[in-house]
A = this chain, B = another copy of it.
Amino acid sequence: MLDETYSKLLVKSGAKLALIVLDGLGDIATREQGYLTPLEAARTPHLDMLSSDSAQGRMIPVAPGITPGSGPGHLALFGYDPLEFQVGRGVIEALGLGVTLGGGDVAVRGNFCSLDANGLVTDRRAGRIPTERCEALCAILTDKIKQIGDIKITIQAGKEHRFVVVFRGEGLEGPLTDTDPGREGQPIATAEPADPKSAEQKKTAKVVADFYRLALPLLKSQHPANGFLLRGIAHQPRIPTIEERYGLKAAAIAVYPMYKGLSQLVGMKKVEGPQTIAEQFQKYLELYDDYDFFFIHYKYTDKAGEDGNFDAKVKAIEDFDAALPILLQKKPEVIAITGDHSTPCAVKGHSWHPQPVLLHSPISGWDKLDRFTETGSNLGSLGIFEAKYLMRLMQANGRMFAKFGA
């Protein structure tokens, strides 16, 4: 409903928007950290400068207390309600392995497993075979199984025993039940349609059965990886693109496959090349005239948080800050700097703690905050709000909405 209202109010303004995501940026002040967050401890002269002309606030990624994965975290930042637009685990896994996915594709998580002479599962993880072995097995399968009927098959090796299969073609639909029996001593289960009346799910089940029929013989001599189990057999529902929703041509300047993939799901152009944040900002300068919306993703704050490494997180923030002036050489009308969620060092993982956000535009106003920190952003004019609204605030700051009502 609200999305419709926003759509009706859309106007072209020609403003450029930059959404800059320091992954897992948010943190908490604990005794062990001298009651400072990494943002508070870091030396950030350029962020400080920007803060002196920006609005601030904090964002709830999904809902109070809910810790998001990268999928919902980013969909919310892109302005999509993460409870409405869900991305399957197989899809996320595939995106993380660099597989390009589109709406309707069925992406499935696979495990190599060990089977005995009777076809019973003796090890659901095939003794955690080395990654190189997994790659070799996936190459064998890829070589022999490229298509089943009108359905294209893509197989991509992951870490150890893990891989991803993507089924692409008309009329596929999930969910199907897992073929993983859940415990050893059982045979591989059959993938059954969740809705037995769905012709699409039946077609998908048949393709999966055919895939097993073709693939198992190829693995016969590959003990301990002479079988495989499939989980999360679901299609990726089509998500309206950024261009459809906001009328904006969008480019994703990310380094890691997962974030390139997530941005492709919403129709962003994937930009290849840059490896460092300085190179990413440089790329932004080059592409400035070609796009309206830039998603720039920086991974290292999250990595440090996951490791519980406070100093590394401080360093990641300082490295980011040092590169920031490159972006400012051609300042877009609207800059948002935030995280997709918090990854507090004390938690060593994603968390629900609202992430701080800085919103800068000629009409963002200033909240009398001289720095960009969690504690400071608590006092900002944006308040604490759901992350899905950030995009709307960016649009508003870019003067992209007409007045509602007279």
Q: CB within 8 Å of B: which residues of A?
A: 1-2, 5-6, 9, 27-31, 35, 37, 53, 58, 62-73, 82-83, 86-87, 89, 92-93, 344, 346-347, 349-354, 362-368, 374-375, 378-385, 389, 392-393, 395-396, 401-406
Residues on B with beta carbons closer than 8 Å to the beta carbon of A9:
66
- In whole angstroms, what is the CA distance A352 to B401 when docked? 10
Also in contact, A363 and B66, with CB within 8 A (given A92-B406, A406-B89): no
* 21 sample A-B contacts, Cβ–Cβ < 8 Å, listed by A number: A1-B83, A28-B366, A29-B365, A30-B365, A35-B368, A64-B392, A65-B392, A65-B393, A65-B396, A66-B392, A69-B405, A92-B405, A92-B406, A93-B406, A347-B363, A351-B396, A352-B396, A353-B365, A367-B375, A375-B381, A383-B384
Which of A354, A362, A365 has the largest number of chain B CB atoms within 10 A?
Answer: A365
Q: Is the CB of A380 within 8 A of B381?
A: no
Residues on B with beta carbons closer than 8 Å to the beta carbon of A381:
58, 353-354, 374-375, 378
Kindly list 17 other residue pairs between chains A and B, CB separation below 8 angstroms, not including A35-B366, A62-B404, A374-B381: A27-B365, A29-B368, A31-B53, A64-B393, A65-B392, A65-B396, A67-B396, A67-B404, A69-B403, A70-B405, A87-B406, A344-B363, A344-B365, A352-B401, A375-B381, A378-B379, A379-B379
Residues on B with beta carbons closer than 8 Å to the beta carbon of A389:
63-65
- In whole angstroms, what is the CA distance A1 to B63 when docked? 12
Residues on B with beta carbons closer than 8 Å to the beta carbon of A351:
363, 396
- In whole angstroms, what is the CA distance A87 to B406 when docked? 8
- Taking the closest CB of chain B, its distance from the CB of A179, in whole angstroms, is 19
Residues on B with beta carbons closer than 8 Å to the beta carbon of A1:
83
- Taking the closest CB of chain B, its distance from the CB of A94, in whole angstroms, is 11
Q: Is the CB of B404 within 8 A of A5?
A: no
Number of copies: 2
Interface residue SS majority, chain A: loop
- In whole angstroms, what is the CA distance A201 to B53 when docked? 52
Residues on B with beta carbons closer than 8 Å to the beta carbon of A83:
1-2, 5
- In whole angstroms, what is the CA distance A346 to B67 when docked? 38
- In whole angstroms, what is the CA distance A404 to B349 when docked? 13
- In whole angstroms, what is the CA distance A144 to B70 when docked? 67
- Taking the closest CB of chain B, its distance from the CB of A361, in whole angstroms, is 10
- In whole angstroms, what is the CA distance A364 to B342 when docked? 13
Cβ 8 A contact of A365, one of B28, B62, B385: B28
Complex: chain B residue closest to A66, CB-CB: B404
- Taking the closest CB of chain B, its distance from the CB of A106, in whole angstroms, is 16
Complex: chain B residue closest to A386, CB-CB: B64
Residues on B with beta carbons closer than 8 Å to the beta carbon of A366:
28-30, 35
Q: Is the CB of B383 within 8 A of A354?
A: yes
- In whole angstroms, what is the CA distance A21 to B340 when docked? 34
Complex: chain B residue closest to A5, CB-CB: B83
Q: Is the CB of A82 within 8 A of B346?
A: no
Which of A344, A349, A364, A366 has the largest number of chain B CB atoms within 10 A?
Answer: A366
Complex: chain B residue closest to A356, CB-CB: B381
- In whole angstroms, what is the CA distance A84 to B389 when docked? 20
Complex: chain B residue closest to A364, CB-CB: B28
Which of A6, A65, A82, A367 has the largest number of chain B CB atoms within 10 A?
Answer: A65
- In whole angstroms, what is the CA distance A26 to B72 when docked? 34
- Taking the closest CB of chain B, its distance from the CB of A377, in whole angstroms, is 9
Residues on B with beta carbons closer than 8 Å to the beta carbon of A87:
405-406
Q: Is the CB of B64 within 8 A of A385?
A: yes
Residues on B with beta carbons closer than 8 Å to the beta carbon of A68:
403-405
